[in-house]
Amino acid sequence: MNKICLMTIAMFFTLLNISNSVFAHENRNIVIDAAHIRASIPGTNVTSAYMSIENKSVKTIVLTGASSAVSDRIEIHQHVMNNGMMSMRQVKQLIIKEQEQVILQPMGYHLMIFNVKKPLLPEDNITFTLHFAHQNDVVVSIPVQSIKQEKQAKKQHHHH
Ligand SMILES: [Cu+2]
């Protein structure tokens, strides 16, 4: 990443913080919502990020990865059943068809964050850059949530 790009991102986040809209970022075609990172469990340096990614464009979009200052290794993962055992595997890309949405959530797709440089604590907001094929990066500020907060947020998301 060059200096100008970093400056642009820094400016962008200054603006985001002023408007205090840290939960969702919208560009013309890609809408990120309900993004959160699971707080670090003491003694571990691996955690995961979840969100919904909506493709409002008229073309398929392809998520190819993510990057963040908190880790040098972030992978797109999927939970799969293997001989009755739940396991994870890396997927190289996530295809989101036009007018469709993919939800990254516990037990499903997620962004796996390895070698977290410092514990991620509830109330932290972490800058993530999502990379797409043939699309500009999308930069999001993702709040860290404890598992308890995650469950509460999920309840509020369901309107029964
Ligand atoms: Cu994983």
Alpha carbon of 67 to ligand 1 centroid (Å): 15
Q: How far is CA 125 from CA 22, 68, 142, 153, in A?
A: 8, 12, 5, 16
pLDDT at residue number 64: 98
Alpha carbon of 14 to ligand 1 centroid (Å): 31
Alpha carbon of 78 to ligand 1 centroid (Å): 6
Alpha carbon of 15 to ligand 1 centroid (Å): 32
Dihedral sign of CA atoms 125, 104, 11, 6 in order: positive
pLDDT at residue number 22: 41
User: pTM for this one?
Assistant: 0.79
pLDDT at residue number 3: 52
Q: What is the pLDDT along the chain (160 residues), one digit of tens a residue?
A: 455 555 455 554 444 443 334 444 556 789 999 999 999 999 999 999 999 999 999 999 999 999 999 999 999 999 998 888 889 999 999 999 999 999 999 999 999 999 999 999 999 999 999 999 988 999 999 999 998 998 888 887 665 4
Name the CATH superfamily housing domain 23-157: PCu(A)C copper chaperone (2.60.40.1890)
Annotated domain spans of the chain:
23-157
Alpha carbon of 160 to ligand 1 centroid (Å): 30
Any bridge partners for residue 85, and if so which?
82
